[in-house]
Every structure is written in C-alpha cells, then in structure tokens.
Amino acid sequence: GIRCTVLDPRWVKPVDEQLAPLAARHRLVAVVEDNIRTGGVGWAVGHALRDAGVDVPLRGFGIPEQFLAHAKRAEVLADIGLTPVEVAGRIGAALAATEEAAAAAEKENEA
C-alpha cells in the first residue's frame, strides 16, 4: 500500500548523478543490499545525497559487520531481518516516524 520508486543500479560506485534529484522528490530513501552495510551501496548513496544537498531520510538495510552463524542463505537473511516482510515493515515504520516528525515540526512552526 506504499507507492515507491525502485532503482536497481548497474554498479555501486560511483553513484549515478540522477539519484539525488530523484531522491529529493521522495519522503524516504531505503537502500537494501545483500552485502555488508559498512562501505556498501547505502554508504555511497548517503554520501552522494549529502554532497548534493538532498536532506531526505535514509534507511539502510544489509548485512551487519559481525560474524554470522553458518546456515543456508535464507536462514541467515531471516536471522538478520533481511526478509521482504521485515524490510517492508521497517520501511513503513520509518515512513510513519518521518511523517510524525514533519507534522510535529509543522505544528511547532504554527505556534
């Protein structure tokens, strides 16, 4: 029930220059990667957005920088919360929090 734009980059770095103007038209940017988050695509997207002056909330989803238990890929992804259902739920919660913060700021500005 959430409208979104999905971008599947052909490469991680350098970040496509068209990403920042596209991100600026959205309420939230979510980066989902099946690799370690540290230094990954989410990191690169965050830097590109900041460099372009785009102040859109960013949520990154990926593998934490830690030793993981050995298991089948699907089990590992479930253990770290990278299932489609969990990611969608966390994005929905982040959108709700972003909207609540914007409403509170607007109310504060009116006072």
d(CA 71, CA 83): 15
Q: pLDDT tens, 10-68? A: 787 899 999 999 999 999 999 999 888 888 899 999 999 999 999 999 999 999 999 99
**What three-state secondary structure class fits 75?**
helix
Q: What pTM value is reported for the model? A: 0.85
Please, are residues 49 and 56 in contact by the beta-carbon 8 Å criterion? Answer: yes
Q: Domain 19-110 has what CATH class?
A: alpha beta
Long-range contacts from 40-44, C-beta under 8 angstroms, 24+ separation: 40/12, 41/9, 41/12, 44/12, 44/13, 44/14, 44/15
Q: pLDDT tens, 92-104? A: 999 999 889 888 8
